[in-house]
Amino acid sequence: MLKHELFVDMTCEGCSSAVSRVLNKLGGVEFGIDLPNEKVCVNSEHSVDLLLETLGKTGPAVSYLGPK
């Protein structure tokens, strides 16, 4: 699996819960959320575009920071 680091504009536990919910729904991913630094590290075979689209459903700004 490839490891990706993404920025997700998260300001509270509700935001991080939304990120967890959409990633769990996507399936086939392992992830860690760093709320203070607004980063999500994802281990997945899914494309970066699919990860960005999925995380975009949470509402806040999302961007790809690069491979980890």
**pLDDT (tens place) for every residue of the chain, 68 residues total:** 899 999 999 999 999 999 999 999 999 999 999 999 999 999 999 999 999 999 999 987 999 999 98
DSSP 47: -
Predicted confidence at residue 32, as pLDDT, reads: 97
The CATH code that applies to domain 2-67 is: 3.30.70.100
Compute CA distances 20 → 16, 46, whole Å: 6, 16
Q: How far is CA 22 from CA 11, 15, 52, 57, 65, in A?
A: 17, 11, 11, 8, 19
The pLDDT value given to residue 20: 97
Looking up tokens 């392992």 gives: 30
Which residues, listed in sequence order, are joined to residue 67 by a DSSP beta bridge? 4
| Domain boundaries of the chain, sorted by first residue | 2-67
pLDDT value of position 60:
78
